[in-house]
Structure 1
């Protein structure tokens, strides 16, 4: 069975989760549980913390299953 990437976005950031790469260390859920929720669907809630906190947590992912991309802000 193919397990596809999960993509979550808000106005500032897009987060991609690759389940096939995940080592299930659960650092994300233990350290930033307002965003990375293990018992709720959708399990990533980008409104649960500031973007900077989300980025800092993603950088701690040991397997690289979590990735992020900041959205470009329009400059007038």
Structure 2
């Protein structure tokens, strides 16, 4: 399966559902960005890109990755 991409002005968030272990780290730690009750469930504009990137780095499975559009890539 391809990764889904959610684009903001300064960050692109990628989600690989096959890697996800449903730990809930994303939704518990940053519910303004990751909200399962909304569609799309990822909103890449609700927080500064650097804060979103730092939170994505805590994803235990690596299902969430990102690309900063104005800085160096992390994927």
TM-score (norm. length: structure 2): 0.87
Structure 1 portions without partners, runs of 5+: none
CA–CA distance in structure 2, aligned partners of residues 69 and 31 of structure 1: 20
Structure 2 portions without partners, runs of 5+: none
Aligned-pair Cα RMSD in Å:
1.3
Instruction: Give 1:14 deviation, angstroms.
Output: 0.8
TM-score (norm. length: structure 1): 0.86
Residue 5 of structure 2: SS of its match in structure 1? strand
Residues 27-76 of structure 1 show CA distances to partners (whole Å, capped at 9, x for unaligned) of: 01001000001111100001111111100110000000000011137xxx
Mark the structure with the bigger radius of gyration.
1
The residue that corresponds to 1:65 in the other structure is 63
The residue that corresponds to 1:11 in the other structure is 9
The residue that corresponds to 2:54 in the other structure is 56
Aligned residues: 71
Flag as ranges the 4+ runs of structure 1 deviating above 3 A: none
